[in-house]
């Protein structure tokens, strides 16, 4: 009998917005996670800090409009695949006036 193992993914570097540090004490500004796509990053963050995904994504599901995610410097969506070792930068909107 063989055991079913979840697929393994290579680690990616995730940089979180400073605003989340206030909402989720103990969350680091930068960390490594194993994920195949941006949605996997969101799920992994929510596993470590429950409620974080709700701050980053809406219920449709889609990245919230005041949040921007970049993968290797390019704007990304939840279904954007993640090559091994890539940087995922999550940013909040900056308002000015």
Domains of the chain, with CATH numbers? 14-92 (3.10.20.30)
Strand order in the sheet with 30-34: 30-34, 11-15, 87-92, 67-71, 74-75
Measured CA distances, 14 to 5, 11, 19, 35 (Å): 25, 9, 15, 10
Element (H, E) at 35: none
Is the pLDDT reported for residue 7 higher than 70? no
Other residues' Cβ atoms within 10 Å of the Cβ of residue 42: 24
pLDDT band, residue 8 (cuts 50/70/90): low
Q: Are 64 and 57 in contact (CB under 8 A)?
A: yes
pLDDT exceeds cutoff 70 at 77:
yes
Q: What is the pTM of this model?
A: 0.87
């Amino acid at each position: 009998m063989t055991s079913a193992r979840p697929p393994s993914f290579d680690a990616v570097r995730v940089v979180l917005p400073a605003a989340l540090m206030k909402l989720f004490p103990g969350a680091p500004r930068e960390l490594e996670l194993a994920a195949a796509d941006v949605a996997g990053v969101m799920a992994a963050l929510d596993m470590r800090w429950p409620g974080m995904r709700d701050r980053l994504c809406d219920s449709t599901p889609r990245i919230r409009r005041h949040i921007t995610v970049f993968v290797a410097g390019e704007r990304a969506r939840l279904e954007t695949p993640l090559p091994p070792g890539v940087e995922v930068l999550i940013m909040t909107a900056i308002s000015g006036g």
